[in-house]
Structure 1
Amino acid sequence: MTSQLDALLEALNDPPNILILPHNNPDPDAIASAVALQYLIEKQLGRKSRIRYKGFIGRAENRALVTFLRNPLHPLTDADFQWADTVVLVDNQPGAGNSAGNASLPIAAVIDHHPLLRTTANAAFVDVRPKLGATATILTSYLQEADLLPTSVLATALFYGIKTDTLSLVRGASEVDIAAYLYLQPHVDINALIRIETAQVPTDYFAQLDTAVRKARIYQDVVIAFIGPMTYPDLVSEMADLLLRLEGVQWSVCMGIHNGTLSLSVRTRRRRGGAGGLAQAIVKKDGTAGGHGMMGGGQLSLDKWDTPTLVAELTQRVLLHLDIPSMTVGIPLFV
Structure 2
Amino acid sequence: MDPRERLDRLLTVFGQGDPVLILPHNDPDPDAIASTLGLGQLLAGAGRSCELAYGGIVGRAENRALVRYLGHPLHKLASGELRRSGAIALVDTQPAAGNNPISESEADRVRGVIDHHPQYEGTESVAFSDIRPGIGATSTIITEYIQAADLELSPALATALFYGIETDTMGLGRGASADDAAAYFYLHPLIDTEALADIQRAQLPAAYFQSLRRALDNSHLYDGLAVSYVGEMSYPDLAAEIADLLLRLEGVRWVLSLGKYKDSLILAARSRSRRGGSGRLVRSIVAGRGTAGGHGVMAGGQVVLEGLDPEAVAAELTRLALAHLKIPEDTPGEPLLDDS
* Counterpart-to-counterpart distance in 2, 1:100 and 1:136: 21
For 1:132, what is the secondary structure of its paired residue?
coil
Structure 1 position 190 matched with structure 2 position 193: yes
Q: One-letter code of the match for 1:292?
A: H
Residue 294 (structure 2) pairs with residue 294 (structure 1):
no
Instruction: Trace 1:48-59 onto structure 2 (pairs within 5 A).
Output: 48-59=49-60
Matched, 1:85 2:50: no
* Structure 2 gap ranges (5+): none
Among residues 147, 150, 157, which one is paired with 1:147 in the alignment?
150
Partner of 1:78: helix, strand, or coil? coil
State the distance in 2 between where 1:307 and 1:333 align: 21
Distance 2:17 2:187 in 1: 31
1:19 and 1:80 in contact (8 A); partners too: no
Q: Secondary structure at the match of 1:293?
A: coil
Structure 2 contact 260–310 (Cα < 8 Å) conserved: no
Q: Distance in 1 between matches of 2:331 and 2:232?
A: 26
- Aligned partner letter, 1:12: F
Counterpart Cα distance in 2 of 1:14 and 1:328 = 60
Look up the SS of the partner of 1:3 in the other structure: helix
Q: Percent identity?
A: 49
User: 1:97 & 1:282 partners in 2: Cα distance?
Assistant: 16
Moved more, 205-214 or 104-113: 104-113
Counterpart residue number, 1:101: 102
Quote the residue 1:217 is aligned against: 220
Amino acid at match of 2:48: R
Question: How many residues were matched structurally?
Answer: 334
- Retained in 1: the 8 A contact 2:211–2:233? yes
Partner amino acid for 1:241?
D
Shift of 1:34: 0.2
Q: CA deviation at 1:304?
A: 5.5
The equivalent of 1:17 in structure 2 is 19
Partner residue, 1:122 = 125
For the 8 Å contact 1:88–1:110, the answer to whether it is kept is yes
Question: Which residue of the partner structure matches residue 254 of structure 1?
Answer: 257
CA distance in 2 between counterparts of 1:326 and 1:135 reads 38
CA contact (8 A) 1:155 1:188 kept: yes
Equivalent residue for 1:307? Answer: 310
CA distance in structure 1 between the aligned counterparts of 2:9 and 2:79, rounded to whole angstroms: 29
Question: In 2, distance between residues paired with 1:87 and 1:157?
Answer: 22
1:242 and 2:245 equivalent? yes
1:133-165 deviation line (CA, Å, top 9, x unaligned): 000000000000111121100000000000000
**Counterparts of residues 32-43 of structure 1 (less than 5 Å):** 32-43=34-45
Q: TM-score, normalised by structure 2?
A: 0.96
**Structure 1 equivalent of residue 184 of structure 2:** 181
SS in 1 for 2:28: coil
Q: Does 1:27 align with 2:29?
A: yes
- Report if aligned partners of 1:282, 1:314 keep a CA contact under 8 Å in 2: yes
TM-score (norm 1): 0.97
Contact 1:212 1:227 in 2 (8 A): yes
Task: Give the SS at the match of 2:122.
Answer: helix
- Aligned equivalents of 2:237 and 2:109: distance in 1? 29
Distance across 2 between alignment mates of 1:15 and 1:30: 25
Taking the aligned partners of 2:303 and 2:208, their CA distance within structure 1 comes to 23
Contact 2:32 2:92 in 1 (8 A): yes
CA distance in 2, matches of 1:161, 1:87: 22
Q: Which residue of 1 aligns with 2:65?
A: 64
Match of 2:326 in 1: 323
Q: SS at 2:255's partner residue?
A: strand
The one-letter code of the counterpart of 1:251 is: W
- Deviation per CA, 1:238-288: give whole Å up to 9, x if none: 000000000010111100001110000001111111000001112111111
Worse-matched range after superposition: 150-159 or 96-105: 96-105
Q: Distance in 2 between matches of 1:33 and 1:308?
A: 35
Say which SS state the counterpart of residue 157 (structure 2) adopts. Answer: helix
Aligned to 2:203: 200
